[in-house]
Amino acid sequence: MLLIRCPYCQEERPEIEFSYAGEAHIARPLNPDDLSDESWAEYLFIRSNRRGLHYERWLHAHGCAQFFNALRDTVSDKFETTYKIGEARPQVKK
């Protein structure tokens, strides 16, 4: 069971307090009606499904109930970092 640092609570808490919430930094288009079917489908369905470092969202469901972002390695499962919604995505260390 992973330990996850909630950037709002500023604490490392066990994984059972959290739930996964999909890929991060996919903003809902401001004017969906202006989008072609293809672009809308891209927003709805297409995800990077990355092997390795992945920007993703987590919800501190049984804690502060805040959504936050994380950079996690999908191979090792290790969290590189977590950060608040609205903050710029951290650079991936090579």
Partner 1 sequence: MTINRKETHGRINRDKPIKFSFDGKIYSAFDGDSLASALLANGIHLVARSFKYHRPRGFLSAGSEEPNALVTFDRGQGRVTSNVRATTLEIFDGLVAYSQNNWPSLKFDIGAINDFFYMLFPAGFYNKTFMWPKSFWDKVYEPAIRKMAGLGPAPIDEDADKYASLYSHCETLIVGSGPAGIAAALSACEKPGRVILIDEQNEFGGSLLSTPNLTINAIPAWQWLKNSLAILKGRQNVTLLARTTVIGYYHDNFLGAVERITDHEKDINQNKARECLHRIRAGEVILATGAIERPLVFPNNDRPGVMLASAARSYLNRYGVVVGEKIALFTCHDSGYEVIFDLADAGISIACIMDVRDQVSDNIIAATKTRGLEIRTSTIVTNTSGKFRISSLHASRINDEKITSTEEIICDCLLMCGGWTPSVHLFSHSKGSLKWQENLGAYIPDTPNENTISIGACNGTFGLTDIMTEADSGQSKYTVDDMDFGSGIIAATFPTKSDPAKIKAFVDYQNDVTEKDINLAVREGLKSIEHVKRYTTTGMATDQGKTSNLNALQITAHAVAKPVQQVGLTTFRPPFTPTTFGALLGGKDGDTFHVTRKTPIDGWADDNGAIFEPVALWRRARYFPREGEDMLAAVNRECRATRESLGIFDASTLGKIEVVGPDAAEFMNRMYTNPWMMLKSGSCRYGLMLGEDGYIMDDGVIGRMAEDRFHVTTTTGGAPRVFRMMEDYRQTEWPELDVWLTSTTEQWAVIALNGPNARKLLEPFVEGIDLNPESFPHMAVREGRICGVETRLFRVSFSGELGFEINVPAHYGRALWEVLFKAGQQYDITPYGTETMHVLRAEKGFIIVGQDTDGTVSPMDAGMSWAIGKKKKDFVGKRSLNRSDIVAKGRKQLVGLLTDDPNIVLEEGAQIVADPNQPIPMDMIGHVTSSYWSATLNRSIALAMIKDGRALTDSDIYIPMADQTHKVRVSTPIFYDPMGERLNVL
Question: By the criterion CB under 8 A, which residues form the site for partner 1?
Answer: 1-3, 14-15, 21, 27-28, 31-33, 35, 37, 40-41, 44, 57, 59, 61, 65-67, 76-77, 85-86
Q: Could you tell me the smallest distance in angstroms from the CB atom of residue 44 to partner 1?
A: 6
Q: Could you tell me the smallest distance in angstroms from the CB atom of residue 50 to partner 1?
A: 19
For 15, list phi and psi in degrees, rounded to 5: -50, -35
Structure tokens at 62: 């049984």
Query: Which CB, 37 or 94, lies closer to partner 1?
Result: 37
**Which single residue is written with the structure tokens 């969290």?**
79
A 10 A CB-CB count for 35 gives: 13
